[in-house]
Chains A and B, each alone.
Chain A
Amino acid sequence: MSPMIFELNEGLAIAWRAIRANKIRAALTMLGIFIGITAVVLMSTAIKGIDNSFKNGISALGSDVLYVDKWSWFSNDEWWKMRNRRNIEMEDYRKFKELAKLPIAVAPVTNSRQTIKYDDKKVEGVFLTGSNADYVKTTNFTFEQGRFYSEIEGNASRNVAVIGSEISAKLFPRGDALDKTIKIGGTNFKIVGVLAEQGSVILGPFNPDNQVFIPIGTIFKNFISRHSQTVTLNVRAPNPNMVEETKAEAEGIMRKIRGLAYDEPNDFSINQQEGLQEQYDSFVGVIQIAGLFITGLSLFVGAIGIMNIMFVSVKERTKEIGLRKAIGAKRRTIMTQFLLESSVICLLGGLIGLIAALLLSLMLNQFFPTAIQYDVVIIAILISLVTGIVSGLAPAYTAAKMDPVDALRYE
């Protein structure tokens, strides 16, 4: 075996003895790395969690669905210009559906907010979506119980409702929602279906889990007057590669229906999930960079702490360094010894921080989406190791280049 192995062994033993001899000092130093690693890991699991949640949510919306609307989701136009546009009416929907050849489904959608009651339980301000049976074809919904309302129920404006998983959980904690009668804004509705969890905290009230779906005729009959509010057309392309063609067709049809001359601008917008994705990416990109910068800063402060303590440790052990050199330790040996010491401190702090962060993120997951990535575990360990080596470098070098004569004489 080479002397290198023995030197490493001896170095580890020295590091361990040094840490044990100054327990409080080592613990405080580790605390810096602990906080840094905890923050970095927690931040990255949170970002990953938001990311996953958003991707789930957006896939529930469907990447191949176009939203023909009076309003643009992302527009540089002033809002009052869009306000002055004509509403899209049910009549427009019927013409559109007749003329459109490409889409596999077109559904008219309008919304209201209502209070929902069952027995003594109620949920206020629920996002109520009115549409027809084709609506479900514009989504990727899966069902916990029952089904979406049928074409007949939809066209006949029956008082039937499909509820999201969270509404179900709040009103029917025992999961027996199907066929129960709930009150929506005072009117009785029969539950024909309960959605499985679609899972997107990000979308907030637009999250299908928090919505109730009823026929559009029923919404006009009970909650909003037919012409007071614009209707959105959810148009689903036959497949994700046909989105652009479907969009072009939809634009042509809408201009025709609205009787626009060739030089008039569109008085409607065609929205897409893609826009959301772009907005999200730029938004989360900023959070990611800011978050990692701030948490990285705390790790950096921890590293400074280590460097500081290592300088103290080198100073304190000047005489020991002198002795080791006198009896044959090379520069490399002394260098390795102190690098090992700072690495051990960092690794211990990092490992404890990692465990704490993983536990915390499991706890947080109940309120906020987090996702543990296993590559984060490896990266965190590597980061603490690198931090240890980098922050130990200057002190270790100071120790290694000491003159044995001066070091031995040091008091």
Chain B
Amino acid sequence: MNIINIDHIAKVYQVGSEEVHALRDVSLKIDKNEYVAIMGPSGSGKSTLMNMLGCLDTPTSGIYDFKGVSVSEMTDNELARIRNKEIGFVFQTFNLLARSDAVHNVELPLIYAGVASAERKERAKQVLVDVGLEDRMHHKPNELSGGQRQRVAIARALVSNPAIILADEPTGNLDSKTGEEIMGLFHEIHEKGNTIILVTHEEYIAEHALRIVRLKDGLVEKDENVEKRFLPKVKASIL
């Protein structure tokens, strides 16, 4: 079964007296263990689609089924539960808690899931080891490099074993070498059987994926498999 089944969704925002059609008519199916890049220029609706996929927002019309359950009519609390258990977010700006160390940042989703402290710590540490940060467990974000921060954020996204990893421009704030390392990490995460959705406007980043969905003016312009896949040169971790 598809993890994500989007059928003719639209999203209309009311800006003052004007209606903005961020998404006009988008249909999309994503299977388990896919590696999809969503591309498009700014204003194409890719951010809106990402918010929708991440259950941060609900469509104005159309159907969004997540693992066979309709998201469109969910309450705030039900959406929060889906985000907590099924979706791992990775942001361009990392969005780590500045005053907390790596372990605490990673265990955060588990706190909201109601996992007991000892188990939380153990799982957080294991994921940090997986992303290659075993010697940075108790460093705070300002004591870490950009690449290390993004690894902490990826560990946070992985810790609750979500159905999809949703990464929004994950290399946007990194230099190209570090960006390549992070893409290597995503590659390995995908190899392990995870489903990854990558939102980017960089062609060479998108080509790390197996499938590219191109958006334009709120419509899917092209949905194709990548023929000449870009394989990361850098071995990222021991994952």
Q: What residues of chain A have their CB less than 8 Å away from a CB belonging to chain B?
A: 1-3, 6-7, 10, 17, 21, 319-320, 322-333, 404-405, 408
Contact = CB atoms under 8 A, between A and B. Distances in A.
Nearest to B83: A328
B95 A330 contact: no
Which among A2, A6, A7, A322 has the highest number of chain B CB atoms within 10 Å? A6
Interface in B97-144: 97, 99-100, 108-109, 111-117
B76 A330 contact: yes
A3 B76 contact: no
Which among A320, A322, A330 has the highest number of chain B CB atoms within 10 Å? A330
A408 B50 CA distance: 13
A327 B156 contact: yes
A274 to B, nearest CB: 64
Given A326-B83, A328-B84, A333 B112 contact: yes
Contacts of A3: 111-114
Interface string B44-77: 0000000100101100000000000000000011
B85 A328 contact: yes
Given A320-B97, A404-B56, A405-B56, A328 B114 contact: no
Contacts of B116: 1, 6
A330 B113 CA distance: 11
Nearest to A18: B99
13 contacts: A7-B111, A7-B112, A319-B95, A323-B95, A325-B83, A326-B95, A327-B83, A328-B83, A328-B112, A331-B77, A333-B112, A404-B56, A405-B56
Contacts of B54: 326
Shortest beta-carbon contacts, A-B, top 10:
A328-B84, A3-B114, A328-B112, A323-B95, A327-B109, A330-B80, A404-B56, A17-B99, A10-B111, A405-B51
Given A6-B111, A7-B111, A331-B76, A326 B56 contact: yes
Nearest to A320: B97
Nearest to A327: B109
A320 B108 CA distance: 12
A17 B140 CA distance: 13
B112 A21 contact: no
Given A2-B114, A7-B111, A333-B112, A328 B80 contact: yes
B81 interface: yes
A379 B51 CA distance: 48
Contacts of B97: 320, 323
B80 A1 contact: no
B95 A328 contact: no
Contact of B112 (A17, A327, A331, A408): A327
A333 B108 CA distance: 13
Nearest to B50: A405
Contacts of A1: 114, 116
B114 A405 contact: no
Nearest to A10: B111
A329 B112 contact: yes
Interface of B: 51, 54, 56-57, 76-77, 80-81, 83-85, 89, 91, 95, 97, 99-100, 108-109, 111-117, 156
A125 to B, nearest CB: 68
A186 B115 CA distance: 90
A327 B114 contact: no
Contacts of B95: 319, 322-323, 326, 408
A327 B113 CA distance: 10
Contact of A325 (B80, B91, B100, B115): B80
Contacts of A7: 111-112
Given A3-B113, A7-B111, A328-B85, A405 B80 contact: no
A404 B115 CA distance: 23
Nearest to B93: A319
Given A326-B89, A328-B109, 15 more contacts: A3-B113, A6-B111, A6-B114, A6-B116, A17-B100, A320-B97, A323-B91, A326-B54, A326-B83, A328-B80, A330-B76, A330-B80, A333-B112, A408-B56, A408-B91
A240 B77 CA distance: 68
A324 B83 CA distance: 10
Contact of B113 (A319, A324, A328, A408): A328
Nearest to B85: A328
A230 to B, nearest CB: 80
Given A10-B111, A327-B108, A327-B109, A21 B99 contact: yes
Contacts of A325: 56, 80, 83
Contacts of A408: 56, 91, 95
Nearest to B114: A3
A154 B95 CA distance: 93
Nearest to A6: B111
A321 to B, nearest CB: 11
A332 B77 CA distance: 9
B56 A327 contact: no
A326 B88 CA distance: 9
A405 B111 CA distance: 21
A376 B59 CA distance: 55
B99 A328 contact: no
Contacts of B115: 6
A6 B80 CA distance: 16
A287 to B, nearest CB: 48
A324 B114 contact: no
A11 to B, nearest CB: 10
Contacts of A21: 99
B17 to A, nearest CB: 20
A405 B112 contact: no
Contacts of A333: 112
A372 B158 CA distance: 57
A331 B112 CA distance: 12
Which among B95, B99, B112, B156 has the highest number of chain A CB atoms within 10 Å? B112
Contacts of A326: 54, 56, 83, 89, 95
